[in-house]
Structure 1
C-alpha cells in the first residue's frame, strides 16, 4: 500500500510517524518549514507519565532524560493564608503523619504536610492515588516539564536513527495546497521548491491551529477566543522550592496579578507564568522585567541573582473541530483541538491522538479492507469525546475561578475547592488533568460471563506494573505497548520460579495457544500482581495502553471475541464450535470449568 501522508512536522506529526514506523507502516511527513526548529526555551510542554512514556518508546528518551525535569511536588499559595505543600502521591500511613512548620514565606507561615484522607485541608489537593493522580495506580510519578524544541529535536533524531530509513520520509519546504480522495487513497499537492503531487493510503493533518488540512476538508472549528492570556519568562535562578512546581494566587506584592506559576527545568531553569487580563495592554519588555523582579523579591524577600533566557506572551483559545475524520483524512493535535486554560495541556492531548490513531491506521494498513471502517471511526469517537470532556470541565471551572465568587454554589468545600480545581490540571488529576478513559468506546467488548472487575476500569489506562515475557525478559508494562495486544496473566509467585518450568506449567501452555489464535497480534506477559486483580486474572490491553477486558482465568473463546471487538469486528455474544464446553451437558461443562480452575491454581 501507499504510505501514510502526515501534514505537519511538529511533535504530534513526528510522533505519529515514529509510532507508525514501529509497526512497519511507512509515512511521508510534509514539513512547510526548513526542518530546523526555533530555539525557544520559554515555549515548554508538560507531559503526563503516559505521554512521557510514549515519547520514550518512540526514541525520545534523551529528551526525557536530559532536557526534562520532573516535579517533586506542587506548592499552592494564597495571599494571607498558610502556604501549602502538596505531594504528588499519598504516603503510606499518611493519616498518622504530622504536619509541621518548615520556615517562613512572605504572606504567611509555611507548612509542609503529606497527603492523608483525613488530614484536611491537604487531602483534597494532593495528587496520586488510584485512577486519578499523576502516578496512576502504580505509584507516584510526577509530570515532566521540558522545552518543546528539545522534544521536537529528539523526535527528529529518532527518525534519523531508524534502522529502515525509508519508513519515514520528512520533506521540508513543502506546503500543502490541495488534496483529493478516492476509494483507494489520498492525493495531496504541495507547493515550494519541490512542488509535486503525493499519493498516500491515508492523510493526517497535524498542521496546527491554522490547519490547511482542516480548511481543505471544510471542517468547522468552533469555540472560544482568548480564554486566558499569560506573560511568560524562562530564567535561571534559585527559588525556595527546588524541584517543586508553584502556584501562587493573588500574591500580595505589586504586579503579581491574580495568579503566578513557576515550573522547574533542568540546570536551575524555571518557567514563570503570570495570568493577564484576557484583553489588555501590550506587555513591554520593561514591564515584564518589573514583574520578574517583583515576583522574585516577593518569594525570596530580596531579588536573587537571575539570568533571563527567554520571554513571551501567549493567548489560549478553546476550540474543537466538528469532525476528526473525513473518509481517509484525519485531524490530530492542534488541528483538531485547542485547549490550555487552568493547566490543561494541549500537546499532551495531541500525543494521545497520535498514539490512539497510530495502531488503528497500522492495523488497517496491514490488513486492508474489512472491519477497518469501524476501527477508524473509533478514533473520533474516543479522542474527540475525551477532549470535549476536558474542555467542558475547563469551561465549567473558569467562571468559578475567574469570576470572583459563587464557588459555594458550584462546589463542596468552599475555598478549598479553588485549590483543588486550580491544581487539577497542573498535577494531572480529575477532569482537567487525569489521563482519559474510553468506557463507551465502540471497540469495547460486550460483557461476558468470564469478565471480572479489577482496580482499573474498562477503557481506562492500565497500571504500569512490572511484567515478564515467556523468554524471561522483564520490564514495565508501558514499555511493551504500541505493537499489538498485550495479554497479561496475574500469577503470584512466578518471579521466583525457574522460567524453564513455569513456561510449561499450569495454564501457561493453554493461554499461549489462545494468544496465538487471536485475530490480532498479541504478546503474552506475566505479572506478579496487578491492583485489584485476584490471582489467575487475564488482562487484555490495547496497543495504546487502555484496558479492554479482564477475565477470571483462561477463557480462549471470550478472549478471542474481545480481541475481535477491539479490531472493529464482531461484537456479538462469543461462540465457538470448538469450545469444549459448548457441546457438553451442564454437569460436564461445570466439570471442565473446575478442571480449568485447578490448572490455573498450579501456576502458584
Structure 2
C-alpha cells in the first residue's frame, strides 16, 4: 500500500470562520496572497516582515502530499535565511554539490556545483516540498506571535476576481458560504493550473512535451553516495530511457524514470508496474524498498505574457512553468518573491513611483525566458525527437567520457542558478569592468564569511553601499542606504570576489542583494544618481 507520508503535516491552518465573513461590506486588506504553497507562503512572510498587512487565502488547510519539488538551491536558501526559516531546512535536508552522469553503465563525467569554500549554504539541499512549506508556515506562526501582520485562512477558495483603478475585489467560497474582500494588492501564487489566471482570461503560452516521466519516492537502506546520479539509456532495462536518483531525508530516495510518449497513465501507476521498473534498477543490487509516493508528469515550458496586471501580480508556477530537471520551479518562484517584495514595499510606502513594479515584469520575464531556454534544451537532449538527434546525443555522451570539450554539450538538466539581471533598467553602467564578472551590475552579491556572520547578513535587505579599500565618509541623511566598509586585505575572499585585479571598489547593492552599480572610487553624487535609478525614480524616455 502506498503511504500518506505527510498526514501529520496536514491542517496546519484549519478552517475557522473569520470576522470578515460577518461584515456587511467587504473588508479591505493591504495585500492578499492567493495560494498557500511554498511560494505563496514565502510571499506572505516577505511582505509581513516588511510590515505590510497581508492575508493568505488557500483552498486547502495545510501542506500537500508528495515530495514534488525536492532540490532547493543556494540562492533559495539565502532568501529563506533572510526570512528566518532556513535553519530547520538545513537541519532536515540532505546537502549535496556533486553530480554524476552515466551512459548505460559507464560514467561519462562528474561535476561539482560549488567547488569553492566560504559560503554559508551548500549548492543544494534535497528536502521534500511539504517540509519546506511546513517550515515557512512555522516561521509565519512565530512571526505572528511577534506581532507581524500575517493571517492565513484555510479552505478559503477564491472564486471570482474583479479589478478597478483603486482596488481588487475577490469572491471567496468557504464551508460556511461565500463572502467578498477587497485589497490594494493581490499576489497570485495558486499554481500552474492557476484558477485566478483563468478567471482573468489570461494566457499561459509555451510548449508541452510529449514524453512522460514516472516519479517514485521510495524508502530503502542503500549505500549510494549523496549526489545527483543521472543515467542516459540505463542498463537496468525495463526501467525507461533515462533515470535520475536523489537522496532525500527520512531514508527516502527520489527516482525518476523516463517512460515514453503514448502511455496509459492508469496502467503505469499500478503498483505492480511501478515495482517492475524499480525491481529492474534495484533488484540486482539486492535492495529492499518501500514505495512512499508516485506520480507521472510531462515536461512543460510555459509562461504568461506578463506577470503584472495592474494591482494583481503573479509569482511562481502561476506565472511560469518549466520541467523539473534543473530544479528551476520553486527556486525561481522564491526569486520572484525576492524581486517583488522590496519593490512593493517602496511603492506602498511612497518611497518609489508605482512604475517600479514594471521592473518586476522586466527582470523576472528575462529570468523566466532563461529558465525556459535551459529547460527546453535539457528536454531536447534527454528526449531526442528523431533518430538523428539521438545519434548526435549519444555521440556527445561517448566523446564526453574522455574529452573535456564535449562535456558542456551534455545536458541532463542545467541546475538552477540565480538570474543575473544584465541589461536591467535599474542598473547603472559598469564603471569597473576589470573587477570580477561575477559581481557585475545585475548579479547577486557573492557571499563571504566574516567574524561571526556572513557578508549577506551584513548587507541585509536595504539599499547598501559596500566599499573595499575606499574611505567612504558617513553619508547619513544624504543617502537612504546602509554603509559597509572593509579595508583591502581585511577579508581575502571579499577581495577575491569583489576586487579581483583592481585595487579598490565601491558597490551599490539593492534590497534583494543584486548589484546595481560599481565604481573605482567614491562620489556621493554618482552613487545618489545610481540609487535613484535603482529605486525606480529615473525612467527612461
Q: TM-score range by the shorter chain?
A: 0.7 to 0.9
Determine if contact 1:6/1:206 at 8 Å carries over to the other structure: yes
> 2:166 aligned to 184, 187, 191, which one?
184
> 1:87 aligned to 86, 95, 112, which one?
112
Alignment of 1:287-326 (within 5 A): 287-297=273-283, 301-326=284-309
Deviation readout 1:548-567 (Å, 9 max, x if unpaired): 11121222111111111111
Post-superposition offset of 1:452: 6.4
Distance 1:561 1:161 in 2: 39
Aligned to 1:161: 142
Q: CA 1:393 to 1:290, structure 2 compared with 1: closer, same or farther past 3 Å?
A: same
TM-score by length of 2: 0.83
Post-superposition offset of 1:195: 2.8
Post-superposition offset of 1:532: 4.7
Work out which of the two has the higher radius of gyration on C-alpha atoms and give 1 or 2: 1
Distance 2:366 2:184 in 1: 26
Determine if contact 1:484/1:523 at 8 Å carries over to the other structure: no
Larger CA deviation: 319-328 vs 393-402: 393-402
Q: CA 1:140 to 1:26, structure 2 compared with 1: closer, same or farther past 3 Å?
A: closer
> 1:562 aligned to 530, 533, 541, which one?
530
Distance 2:281 2:215 in 1: 13
Query: What's the secondary structure of 1:161's corresponding residue?
Result: helix
RMSD: 3.0
Alignment of 1:150-229 (within 5 A): 150-162=131-143, 163-165=145-147, 167-192=149-174, 193=176, 195-229=178-212
Determine if contact 1:5/1:29 at 8 Å carries over to the other structure: yes
Distance 1:411 1:201 in 2: 54
Q: Does 1:57 find its partner at 2:82?
A: yes
Distance 1:251 1:245 in 2: 15
Deviation readout 1:493-537 (Å, 9 max, x if unpaired): xxxxxxxxxxxxx824x1x31x6422x443535472241513431
Aligned to 2:103: 78
Query: What's the secondary structure of 2:443's corresponding residue?
Result: coil
Post-superposition offset of 1:309: 2.3
Determine if contact 1:361/1:376 at 8 Å carries over to the other structure: yes
Determine if contact 1:293/1:303 at 8 Å carries over to the other structure: no
Distance 1:360 1:320 in 2: 22
Q: How many residues align?
A: 493
Aligned to 1:371: 353
Q: CA 1:550 to 1:170, structure 2 compared with 1: closer, same or farther past 3 Å?
A: same
Aligned to 1:383: 364
Determine if contact 1:452/1:552 at 8 Å carries over to the other structure: no
> 1:507 aligned to 471, 481, 485, which one?
471
Post-superposition offset of 1:236: 2.6
Distance 2:483 2:161 in 1: 38
Query: What's the secondary structure of 2:225's corresponding residue?
Result: coil
Post-superposition offset of 1:166: 5.2
Aligned to 1:27: 54
Query: What's the secondary structure of 1:445's corresponding residue?
Result: coil
Distance 1:58 1:540 in 2: 22
Determine if contact 2:397/2:410 at 8 Å carries over to the other structure: no
> 2:219 aligned to 231, 236, 256, which one?
236
Distance 2:303 2:482 in 1: 34
Post-superposition offset of 1:2: 4.5
The unaligned stretches of length 5 or more in structure 2 are 1-27
Aligned to 1:522: 482
Post-superposition offset of 1:270: 1.1
Distance 2:78 2:244 in 1: 25
